[in-house]
Amino acid sequence: MIKDEKLLSKQIVDFMILAGKLKWLKRSGWLNHMMPEPESVAEHTYRVAILSRILAKMLGLNEEKLTVMAIFHDLAEGVLGDPIFQRGRRQIRTPNWADEKKLMKQVSSDLGMPDLYVIWEENILENGPKKTDYSDALYQIGKLANVWQALEYELRGVPREKTNEFWENASYQITIPILRRILNTLKQLRKTYKI
């Protein structure tokens, strides 16, 4: 039995308020390209989580772990915003994880879920040296999710000039064979729809 359910209730409410901010936070890359109805961070997270669950076994990874990493990978953006680190193949900014780590450590501690921080901390390597199979896979799945969104914009009439940067970035970053095959399938689909 939980000692102080009232306190835990408050912590859950606070956590969900933070998570809920992701529904309203538009992804910076799409905002910068003035996309109609820019994708929110929550929408991106949803797609990454679904792809992670579907692809985990094919990647030889634990489904639950990869999916949990996907669900929480952008949570800190609800407070810190959605930064842009790359443009096409060019890195334009180096991530500074100090504030993000501090926030996530506090959030996990407040919830009494230190294991959540451990999983999140492994995941943040996705934007660094890619030290684990999980963080590398999740990073590449995120890139795949980006081009999926780019294709959806194109199908709605957005000129390809506005999405080419995301395709270039994914083509450069995605190296895992199954993810590369999916990317190539999306590229073929893109050719089919001469927009």
Which residue do the tokens 């039995």 mark?
1
What distances in angstroms separate CA 69 from CA 3, 35, 65, one per listed residue?
29, 28, 6
Reported pTM: 0.82
Q: In this predicted model, what pLDDT tens digit does every residue of 18-33 receive, in sequence order?
A: 888 889 888 888 888 8
Structural domain total, the chain: 1
Residues 177-186: pLDDT tens digits? Answer: 999 999 999 9
pLDDT tens column, 87-109: 555 555 555 667 777 877 887 88
Contact 69, 119 (CB under 8 A): yes
For residue 117, the enclosing domain spans: 5-192
Q: Which two tokens stand for residue 41?
A: 């961070």
- Please report, for the domain that includes residue 41, its CATH number: 1.10.3210.10
Q: What is the pLDDT of residues 128-153, one digit of tens each?
A: 556 789 989 999 999 999 999 999 99
